């Protein structure tokens, strides 16, 4: 995709560090250098201001990755691309049938109303809830990893969506400030909202999470 667009040796491509390593690897395969920009803490997608700050005379492209059912701010990214003569590419998520999305939204709405002590996701902008991602800040209380272990011990499956941001990996280690990426990697946890979940399943999720107390005033 990048090579076909003329991106190659000597070029820089702005990408998120919060997510899959494959995007940065594709940049390297094209002969270019991945440059990591921070994310928006609500959408977990590239932050437009951070992208613009990362642009140099060598920047050739931006790769925006849609995350967890929320879309990146493509309009603003295209405006940046237009100003600087950059190619703006998108990496989407697999499409789901409308009725499945509707059921996930219904389950997400239930969790939004019932969960306590965690920061629930912002459902704006047509969120399709590919993942239902909450934040579990530490601040002296049980942290995300301890919270996840306790929830699993109560029979609820959950997962850390991004265990290690790409700029922390040895092959891509960069001396770069990405505070929102770091915070999201340390605090986020994905809870089930599958269309197959029953009302009893949803009640079990809420009971398991709320039994842990968490933070009444999550730090954000």
Distance CA 35, CA 146 (A): 32
Give pLDDT, residue 213: 65
Q: Give the right CATH number for 98-210 from 3.40.50.1370, 3.90.25.10, 3.30.2320.20, 3.90.1150.10.
A: 3.90.1150.10
pLDDT for 215: 44
174-196 as b/e: b if 16+ CB within 10 A: eeeebebbbbbbbbbbbbbbeee
Q: Is it the case that residue 219 has pLDDT exceeding 70?
A: no
Tell me which of 3.40.640.10, 3.90.1150.10, 3.40.50.2300, 3.20.20.70 is the CATH number of domain 12-91.
Answer: 3.40.640.10
Helices 199-210, 144-153: axis angle to 10 degrees equals: 130
Statement: residue 29 has pLDDT above 50: yes
**Mean pLDDT, all residues of the chain:** 91
How confident is the model over 126-149, as pLDDT tens digits? 899 999 999 997 655 558 999 999
Q: Has residue 157 got a pLDDT over 60?
A: yes
Crossing angle of the two packed helices 98-114 and 199-210, in degrees rounded to 10: 40
- Please report which confidence band the pLDDT of residue 79 belongs to, taking 50, 70 and 90 as the band edges: very high
| 0.85 exceeded by pTM | yes
């Amino acid at each position: 995709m990048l090579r076909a667009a003329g991106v190659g040796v000597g070029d820089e491509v702005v990408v998120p560090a919060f997510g899959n390593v494959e995007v940065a690897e594709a940049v390297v395969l094209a002969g270019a250098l991945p440059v990591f920009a921070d994310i928006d803490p609500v959408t977990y997608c590239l932050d437009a201001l951070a992208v613009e700050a990362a642009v140099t005379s060598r920047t050739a492209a931006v790769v925006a990755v849609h995350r967890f059912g929320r879309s990146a701010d493509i309009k603003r990214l295209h405006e940046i691309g237009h100003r600087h003569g950059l190619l703006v590419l998108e990496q989407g998520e697999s499409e789901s049938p409308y009725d499945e999305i509707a059921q996930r939204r219904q389950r997400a709405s239930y969790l939004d109303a019932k969960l306590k002590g965690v920061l629930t996701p912002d459902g704006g902008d047509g969120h399709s809830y590919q993942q239902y991602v909450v934040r579990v800040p530490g601040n002296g209380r049980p942290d995300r990893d301890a919270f996840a272990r306790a929830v699993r011990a109560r029979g609820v499956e959950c997962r850390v969506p991004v265990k290690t941001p790409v700029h922390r990996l040895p092959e891509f280690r960069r001396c770069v400030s990405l505070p929102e990426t770091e915070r999201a990697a340390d605090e986020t946890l994905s809870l089930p909202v599958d269309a197959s979940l029953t009302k009893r399943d949803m009640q079990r999720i809420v009971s398991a999470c709320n039994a842990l107390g968490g933070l009444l005033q999550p730090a954000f």
